[in-house]
Amino acid sequence: MCGGLVIGCAFDHRVVDAYSINMFLTAWAEISQSKPISSLPSFRRSMLNPRRPPVINTFYNKQFFPLSSLPPPQTSVLTNPLVSRMYYVEAKDISYLQMQSSLNGNPKRSKLVSFTAFLWKIIAECEDGFKTCKMGVVVDGRKRFDKLSLSNTMSISMQNYFGNVISIPNGEANSSELKEMPLGLVAEMVNEFVYPAMTEEHFREIIDFVELHRPEPVVGRIYAKLDENDGEAVVVSSGQRFPVNSIDFGWGKPQFGSYHFPWGGQIGSVMPMPSARNNGDWIVYMLLLRKHLDLVETKGMNVFKPLTPSYFNL
pLDDT of residue 157: 66
Q: What is residue 293's predicted lDDT score, i.e. its pLDDT?
A: 93
Of 208 and 311, the structure prediction assigns the larger pLDDT to: 208
At 151 the pLDDT is: 47
**Distance (Å, whole) CA 225 – CA 312:** 40
What does the pLDDT look like over 85-120, one tens digit per residue?
A: 999 999 999 999 999 998 777 788 999 999 999 999
pLDDT: is 270 or 240 the higher one? 270
Least confident among 172-186, 202-216, 238-252, 282-296: 238-252
Amino acid 238: pLDDT: 82
pLDDT on residue 148: 41
Give the pLDDT band (50/70/90) at residue 134: very high
Neighbouring C-alpha atoms within 13 Å toward the C-beta of 100: 15
The whole-number pLDDT of residue 150 equals 45
Q: What are phi and psi of 93, to 5 degrees?
A: -75, -35
Name the maximum alpha-carbon separation found in the chain.
59
pTM assigned to the model: 0.89
Give the model's confidence band at 155: pLDDT under 50 very low, under 70 low, under 90 confident, else very high. very low
- Domain 47-72+82-151+163-312's class? alpha beta
pLDDT value at residue 149: 42
The string of pLDDT tens digits covering residues 10-28 is: 888 888 999 999 999 999 9
Say whether pLDDT at 147 is over 50: no
Compute the average pLDDT of residues 179-193. Answer: 93
Q: Tell me which amino acid residue 95 is.
A: S
Residue 205 is predicted with a pLDDT of 92
Neighbours of 204 (CB within 10 A): 21
Q: Which DSSP string corresponds to the chain?
A: -TT---------TTT--HHHHHHHHHHHHHHHTTPPPSS--B--GGGGPPPSSPPP-TTHHHHEEEGGGSPPPPTHHHHS--EEEEEEE-HHHHHHHHHHTT-TTPPPPPHHHHHHHHHHHHHHTTS-TTSEEEEEE-EE-HHHHHTSS--HHHHHHHHTB-S--EE--EEEEEHHHHHHS-HHHHHHHHHHHHGGGSSHHHHHHHHHHHHHTTTS-EEEGGG---STTEEEEEEE---TT--TTT---SS---S--------SSS-EEEEEEE-TT-SS-EEEEEEE-HHHHHHHTTTTTTT-EE--GGGGT-
Model confidence at 230, pLDDT cuts 50, 70, 90, reads: confident
Amino acid 94: pLDDT: 95
Say how far apart CA 57 and CA 201 lie, in whole Å: 11
Residue 283: per-residue pLDDT: 93
| Gap between the Cα atoms of 165 and 16, Å rounded | 8
